[in-house]
């Protein structure tokens, strides 16, 4: 287990008990913890604010909730898990027979030991989620039902962390912070994004990297509405979700399908020989569908391991910290590191000696390769870079066409540039 993997898993465990939703104190508590790892700028957007075609909803907060039997024993208890309450439940304090209560109970008959995750954001409703086993064990009779919640004008909360680059052009990295006690969806994505931000800050990147921690759908829409005038600065982007399960990596392409981020992830995953899948864009999933909506059409893809709804534990109590693997999060982080390394170094060059092949030996370029285990690849990379550096081909173009790793091509370009044979 890598140290980064261990620390990311510890962050997931720390965040797991908090009751998050699309608004409320659970989001603020989550962002306060993340702020201990990377400094955040927190934004509060008032209820009623128009954001594109949506309106910021009322803020929801909850203090306690339970179903108690005739002896006062809590048979369903919010204190045991935030999943036990239907998200955005309106307050209720009643006593009712089990036959009536059943209309407000949600279970998973196919997985009788698990508790489902359910919400009712935009329709006033109340309810509880519990295991089918628990429901089957409840005798007929009256039950005390209490949900101590508030739904009132307040704010939608999201946060940003910016890693300054050499240029103002931005890469956005987005993760959602609205799910309650679900470790892979969404806490693993939060953890990978946070540790990626820390690494980038030590690297003096070329691009400026903007990390967005926002509630799903309404949060991304709010961010887009508030940043519409500067959206042209966003050159690339990646949504992180389901980042810690044992499945193979999955990259979902942007709406464009040939955006630079799409090509970079395809190249990195292919060259690394990791088991992976490249999926085409669909207008369903996580917040890539907001960034890729036709009015914005940003080059934003999505990186996950097993995609949303692709594993039985998805949106259930089985998506707990034990389901998330430190090694898997470390691997997801490594792919992000490699991909952004390619983005940051992808340039176009002009061959300053384009008539015939320049003599590399007298410039010491061949001698510098002596003894390397990849001498042949390094020599071929130099030849490919010289041949395709016509001002039109990027280093990624050259890597794709040559079949060589991007890193070999970039190192060759650096050497040739240093020898005066290329100009940027």
Domain spans in the chain, listed from the N-terminal domain onward: 3-57+155-344, 59-152, 348-423
Does 315 appear as a known binding residue?
Answer: yes
Give the integer Cα–Cα distance in Å for 9 and 5.
6
Residue 52: partners with Cβ closer than 8 Å, 6 or more residues away: 221, 224, 225
Round to whole Å and give the CA distance between 118 and 30.
20
- What pLDDT does residue 238 have? 98
Q: Give the tens place of pLDDT for each residue, 111-170.
A: 999 999 999 999 999 999 999 999 999 999 999 999 999 999 999 999 999 999 999 999
Instruction: Look at residue 372 in the predicted model and tell me its pLDDT.
Output: 53
Say what the pLDDT of residue 32 is. 98
Task: Decide if 3-57+155-344 and 59-152 have a common fold.
Answer: no
185 labelled as ligand-binding?
yes
Helix (H, G, I), strand (E, B) or coil at 130: coil
CATH fit for domain 3-57+155-344, picks 3.40.50.150, 1.10.3720.10, 3.40.50.2300, 3.40.630.10:
3.40.630.10
User: In this predicted structure, what is the pLDDT of residue 331?
Assistant: 98
Q: What is the CATH number of domain 348-423?
A: 1.10.10.10
Q: In the CATH scheme, what architecture does the domain 59-152 have?
A: 3-Layer(bba) Sandwich (3.50)
**HSE of 205, CA atoms in CB hemisphere, 13 A:** 27
Secondary structure (DSSP) of 139-187: PSSEEEEEEEEEEES-EEEEEEEEE--SSS-EEEEEEE---SS-IIIII
pLDDT of residue 368: 56
Longest C-alpha distance within the chain, in Å? 93
111 in a known ligand binding site: no
Q: Which residues, including other chains, have CB under 8 Å from residue 94's CB and lie 6 or more apart?
A: 144, 145
Cβ neighbour number for residue 231 with a 10 Å cutoff: 15
Counting as low any pLDDT under 50, the low residues of the chain are: none
46 phi and psi, to 5 degrees? -65, 150
Instruction: Please name the residues in contact with 355: beta carbons below 8 A apart, sequence gap of 6 or more.
Output: none
By the 8 A CB rule, do 323 and 259 touch?
A: no
User: How many Cα neighbours within 13 Å face the side chain of 297?
Assistant: 6
Predicted local confidence at residue 182, as pLDDT: 98
85: DSSP letter: B
Q: Which pLDDT belongs to residue 378?
A: 86
Question: pLDDT tens digits for 327-373?
Answer: 999 999 999 999 999 999 999 999 999 999 998 888 888 765 555 55
């Amino acid at each position: 287990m890598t140290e980064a993997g261990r620390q990311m898993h510890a962050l997931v465990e720390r965040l797991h008990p908090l009751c998050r939703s699309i608004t409320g104190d659970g989001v603020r508590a989550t962002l306060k913890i993340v702020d201990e790892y990377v400094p955040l700028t927190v934004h509060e957007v008032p209820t009623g604010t128009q954001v594109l075609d949506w309106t910021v909803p009322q803020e929801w907060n909850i203090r306690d909730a339970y179903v108690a039997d005739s002896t006062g024993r809590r048979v369903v208890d919010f204190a045991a898990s935030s999943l036990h309450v239907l998200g955005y439940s309106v307050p209720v304090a009643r006593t009712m027979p089990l036959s009536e209560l059943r209309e407000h109970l949600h279970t998973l008959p196919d997985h009788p030991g698990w508790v489902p995750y359910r919400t009712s954001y935009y329709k006033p409703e109340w309810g509880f989620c519990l295991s089918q086993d628990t429901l089957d064990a409840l005798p007929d009779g009256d039950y005390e039902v209490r949900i101590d919640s508030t739904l009132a004008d307040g704010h939608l909360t999201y946060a940003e962390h910016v890693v300054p680059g050499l240029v103002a052009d931005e890469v956005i990295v987005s993760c959602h912070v609205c799910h309650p006690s679900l470790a892979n969806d969404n806490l693993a994505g939060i953890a990978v994004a946070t540790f990626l931000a820390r690494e980038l800050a030590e690297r003096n990147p070329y691009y400026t990297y903007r990390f967005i921690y926002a509630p799903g759908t309404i949060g991304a829409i709010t961010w887009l509405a508030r940043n519409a005038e500067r959206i042209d600065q966003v050159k690339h982007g990646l949504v992180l979700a389901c980042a810690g399960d044992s499945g193979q990596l999955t990259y979902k392409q942007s709406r464009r399908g040939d955006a630079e981020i799409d090509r970079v992830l395809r190249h990195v995953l292919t060259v690394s020989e990791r088991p992976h899948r490249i999926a085409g864009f669909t207008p369903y999933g996580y917040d890539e569908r907001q960034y890729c909506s036709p009015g914005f059409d940003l080059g934003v893809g999505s990186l996950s391991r097993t995609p949303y709804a692709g594993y039985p534990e998805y949106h259930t109590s089985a998506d707990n910290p034990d389901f998330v693997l430190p090694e898997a999060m470390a691997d997801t982080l490594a792919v992000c590191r490699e991909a952004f390394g390619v983005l940051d170094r992808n340039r176009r060059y002009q061959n300053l000696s384009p008539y015939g092949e320049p003599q590399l030996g007298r410039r010491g370029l061949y001698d510098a390769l002596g003894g390397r285990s990849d001498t042949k690849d390094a020599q071929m990379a130099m030849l490919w870079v010289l041949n395709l550096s016509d001002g039109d081909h990027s280093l990624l173009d050259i890597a794709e066409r040559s079949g060589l790793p991007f890193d070999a091509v970039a190192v060759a370009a650096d050497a040739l540039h240093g020898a005066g044979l290329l100009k940027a």
